[in-house]
Chains A and B, each alone.
Chain A
Amino acid sequence: MLFTVNTTIELICFLVACVCLHRDKSAAWRLMIPYLALVCLTEITGIYLRKHLHVSNTWLYNVYQYLELTVIWSFLYFNLKPYVTSNKWYYIILAGLWVIFITETYIRGWNVFANISASVMSIVFIITSLYYFLLVIRDEAYLQLSTHAPFWWVSGTLLYYFGSTASNVFFDFLISGAIMSLPFPLRYIVFNILNVLLYCCWSYSFLCRFRQRNSSSSLV
């Protein structure tokens, strides 16, 4: 069964991105389309590997995390662009995250999920999202937040990474035998909820972007 809650919501978000962003004038926003395509591909391949070929898919998610950290971090920073002038921190933090991921996969191998690096990445994304909110509050100009695409994109990102903190902290415990006696996969359910929240927020931000583009082009 390739269609799960996760894959379904990811596919919906991908389709929304295709419709809303394919003509977007910003390359950063258009980047979301190939990124979401890769998210869907990874998810479906992961399920196929585990359920049909009965082999571990951890290496796939480890590889995917490199892509995730690069794209999410770049887009988060792109949203900060109206408020910050220097690109110095973008490169420093991106390089730092890559070093942490490479070190962990080198030490623990590709077949062990790099959860320490994932936790560090989550913390970086949370802090950056909070910093974005701070800048929005401090900004003297009024923003119509209910239709402000970057705000909803960052909100979805914050909800996902903040919400997954508990899962990251208890990762080792959750995959150990101690918790296997539970009648349902707890971590999987949590990530289902988080994914729904993330992709709903992102889809809404893409719609906002689409409406913004249409309204601005109709004014011309």
Chain B
Amino acid sequence: MQISSKEFLFLFSLITIIFLIAPLFLIFYISLYNKRKKKYMEEKEELKKAFEHELLKSQMEVREQTLQTIALDLHDNIGQLLGLTIMTLSAVNLDDREKAQEKIGAAEEFAKRSVKEVRALARLLHGEEQINRGLVAAIALELEWMEKARQYQVVYSHNVPEIPVSKDKETMLYRLFQESLNNIFRHAQAKEIRINLDYSHQRLLLSISDDGIGFNVNEVLKQQKGMGLHNLHKRAGMIGGEANIHSVPGAGTQVAISIPYI
């Protein structure tokens, strides 16, 4: 079959146009893709900045909480003990040697307790650095202090193997733990607190439950009261994890935080 010059011209022009348009389309597509890549990178950078900001905030909050605890303890505990020491010593009558000896002994006891409390405080201050050495130890230290100071019954269990430490994630998780505890102190009226730290399938799972009065989670979230709860979700999300809050009025609360951790 022979084709005419006109037919050939049409066919040739069509093929040439197609072969010209195809690379033009490709170049346009690559430019478009590249712009999307730029947008994605900008978003990634923004997320990174937001994470760094939140991390810094968490670090400052951890510090603030420690200082608040120290201030409270200095005022309520050590301050009282030292006050009692002064009062006891000022009441010493050196003429009555027997009573004086008794009072000096009591003052010595108060001073010793003060020293003990100051040492415990120093350990608490040190606890801030404990995060660098591991979350398990930092939580244990915080709980030790809390159990002593606030008269809660605390059950702490953990099953975390030796894994490389990710300081940023641990700081964030530690702060989430502190926030959860604060919520219990303020609202729960609990007697017992159970904390479980577990590692499974490359995820770190922190569970904090109490036997307090509980609350309606949805209602609190709707009323915009639950900024602490929003914070738990937001911060857990920032380290790629999630926070689940389960509570029933009259039946306590359970906060479960799960984060990827390799």
Contact = CB atoms under 8 A, between A and B. Distances in A.
Q: In the complex, which of the residues A136, A137, A145, A169 has the most CB atoms of chain B within 10 Å of its own CB atom?
A: A145
Contacts of B137: none
Interface size class of B (residues with CB under 8 A): 20 to 34
Contacts, number: 59
A170 B13 CA distance: 11
A178 interface: yes
A57 B4 CA distance: 29
B5 to A, nearest CB: 5
B92 to A, nearest CB: 77
A186 B37 CA distance: 41
B12 A181 contact: no
A47 to B, nearest CB: 23
A182 B9 contact: yes
Contact of A179 (B5, B15, B26): B5
Contact of A136 (B22, B34, B41): B34
Contacts of B30: 133, 136-137, 145
Contacts of B19: 162-163, 165-166
A92 to B, nearest CB: 25
Main SS class of interface, B: helix
A131 interface: no
Main SS class of interface, A: helix
Interface in B12-33: 12, 15-16, 19-20, 22-24, 26-27, 30-31, 33
A6 to B, nearest CB: 17
Contacts of B37: 142
Interface residues of A, number: 29
A155 interface: yes
Interface of A: 130, 133, 136-137, 142-143, 145-146, 155, 158-159, 162-163, 165-167, 169-170, 173-174, 178-179, 181-182, 186, 190, 193-194, 197
Interface of B: 5, 8-9, 12, 15-16, 19-20, 22-24, 26-27, 30-31, 33-34, 37-38, 41
Given A133-B30, A137-B34, 18 more contacts: A133-B26, A136-B30, A136-B34, A137-B30, A142-B34, A143-B34, A145-B34, A158-B23, A159-B27, A162-B19, A162-B23, A163-B16, A163-B19, A163-B23, A179-B8, A186-B9, A186-B12, A194-B20
